[in-house]
Amino acid sequence: MHWLVEHAKDGSYTLQLNGIYLYSRYRPKQDVEKFIVKELKTQSKQFILFGLGLGYHVESLLNSSPTSTIYVVLADKKELELCKAYGAAHILNDKRINIINNNVYLKTISLVETHLIIPLQWIKAIGTNHPLFVSLENIKIRQMSFENVSGIMHENFHANLTNSHFFLQKFEGITQTEKAVLVSAGPSLNQSAQSLKKINGFCFVLAVGSALKTLLKEGIVPDAVIITDPTDLVQEQLEHTEYKGLLFYMATANHGMTKIHKGKKAILFQDGYPSSEEFAATNAVPLLETGGSVATTGLSLLEFMGFKTVYLFGQDLGFKSNKTHANLSTSSSTFETDIKFQTVLSNSGDYINTYSNFNIFRRWFEQKAANSSMQIFNTAWDGAKIEGIPYLCVDELERQLEDAPSINYKEILAEIVSSK
């Protein structure tokens, strides 16, 4: 790692790591104080802060939260020298500060009432080869996503509780063939939709909302749709469609969207969201692991329902050209040339473009494949390679299902939702 100490415009020291400024070049301490104030929306008994640097973040935390314990995770051991020589050296003697240079020690810290503070510049500066990069990127993206929509989620949650809906336990163990298809809106769906039409009657078909219009255009009506997005834009997924089948929706999903749907609805409660956990505990309702996306939530739902084999359609988690989603998808878009993206290995052996959040979802799928008894296959040839989830050609899938019994899951679901 390459560190560079410089004088800022106000005369204090600022710091670069690998060519990226960790603090302002003008007023380092003042900008850090603004950042910490923004982070401290609620007080915590303890904090975990990534990066010591010159100690400015720690100093501001000590002043803003004088009774809290602070664990500081070093990006590099050289930070201690830099802090002593150029920064807020006095903080290193404060008994409230715990310096961590052994990542294993992190596992011993109780996360109850702990607030994680990860300055975004630090993630950019340490680079993708740093052993903590993946974990920190996962946490930071989820923090930023939650901050952007937390108020909307709260409003949706309470509005959705007034809907007429079924709870998840109603659908536990409904599987007949133990085979299901999870349809996402990746660009490979343009090629695989015709095969999906042929196997539709042999598997349970769950589609994410953004793929619904693409499927309907091909004459494919999924057995159920799942929607989790809390924003108003998600209403486009159901608007101007004739879909009246079963809708699974997250309790925090956009409540305007749930009013648009005229068919039966089943509400889902997510693990990790306090209001959902409280409601689930009070009403004996199961919680779902969400993984941060509608597709990862969909896989958790299929696992809960008892399916043993799941075929992924349109689960690209990347894009070979500039097309990020399937035609007619409500998420359809192309990336702009000034947007930064990463590259990952695809099932075809080529490298494709991807985004940080796609990588997070890919790693979640990999963990699920490693820890679940489900067999999971991916049909996206030009999609990202997911460890533990082998590629399966759609032609081979058709052959495998030739002799499978035909199951009408729409009738099964209709019977379930008609019973009390």
pLDDT at 113 over 90: no
pLDDT at 148 over 90: no
DSSP structure string for 210-266: GGHHHHHHTT---SEEEE---SGGGGGGTTT----SEEEEETTS-HHHHHH--S-EE
Q: Quote the number of domains for the chain.
A: 2
pLDDT at 106 over 60: no
Q: Are 182 and 311 in contact (CB under 8 A)?
A: yes
- Residue 13: C-alpha distances to residues 23, 28, 30 (Å): 9, 8, 12
Report the pLDDT value the prediction gives residue 282, as an integer from 0 to 100.
95
Which CATH number do you get for residue 210? 3.90.1480
Note whether 99 and 191 are same-domain residues: no
Residue 56 is assigned to a structural domain of this protein: yes
- Using pLDDT thresholds of 50, 70 and 90, give the confidence band for residue 323: low
Residue, of 258 and 331, whose pLDDT is higher: 258
Q: Are 80 and 99 in contact (CB under 8 A)?
A: yes
Note whether 371 and 256 are same-domain residues: yes
Residue 93 is assigned to a structural domain of this protein: yes
Query: Residue 116: left (phi > 0), alpha (psi -120 to 50), or beta?
Result: beta
Residue 247 is assigned to a structural domain of this protein: yes
Backbone angles phi, psi at 385, to 5 degrees: -70, 125
Which runs of consecutive H residues, i.e. helices, occur in 315-393?
356-371
Residue 348 is assigned to a structural domain of this protein: yes
Residue 178, SS3 per DSSP: coil
pLDDT tens for residues 223-277? Answer: 999 999 999 999 999 999 989 999 999 999 999 999 999 999 999 999 888 899 9
Residue 110 is assigned to a structural domain of this protein: yes
Note whether 178 and 259 are same-domain residues: yes
Note whether 108 and 193 are same-domain residues: no
Note whether 51 and 179 are same-domain residues: no
Note whether 243 and 377 are same-domain residues: yes
Residue 100, SS3 per DSSP: strand
Instruction: Classify strands 309-313 and 69-73 as parallel, antiparallel or unpaired.
Output: unpaired
Note whether 350 and 397 are same-domain residues: yes
Instruction: Classify strands 46-50 and 3-7 as parallel, antiparallel or unpaired.
Output: unpaired
Q: Are 69 and 96 in contact (CB under 8 A)?
A: yes
Q: Are 186 and 383 in contact (CB under 8 A)?
A: yes
Note whether 93 and 169 are same-domain residues: no
Q: Are 134 and 25 in contact (CB under 8 A)?
A: no
Q: Are 164 and 265 in contact (CB under 8 A)?
A: yes
Residue, of 324 and 391, whose pLDDT is higher: 391
Q: Which structural domain range is residue 361 located in? A: 163-418
Report the pLDDT value the prediction gives residue 112, as an integer from 0 to 100.
47
Domain boundary pick from 150, 178, 207: 150
Note whether 205 and 243 are same-domain residues: yes
pLDDT at 392 over 60: yes
Tell me how far apart the 2 most distant CA atoms of the chain are, in Å: 77
Q: For residues 294 and 290, what is the distance between their CA atoms, to the nearest angstrom?
A: 7
Note whether 320 and 198 are same-domain residues: yes
Note whether 185 and 49 are same-domain residues: no
User: How big is the CA angle at 64 (ends 14 and 123), to the nearest 5 degrees?
Assistant: 45
Residue 158 is assigned to a structural domain of this protein: no
Note whether 139 and 209 are same-domain residues: no
Residue 157 is assigned to a structural domain of this protein: no
Residue 156 is assigned to a structural domain of this protein: no
- Residue 279: C-alpha distances to residues 37, 153, 283, 305 (Å): 31, 15, 6, 21
Which CATH number do you get for residue 113? 3.40.50
> 279 CB contacts (<8 Å, ≥6 apart)?
161, 251, 269, 285
pLDDT tens for residues 341-381? Answer: 688 999 999 999 888 778 888 989 999 999 999 999 999 99
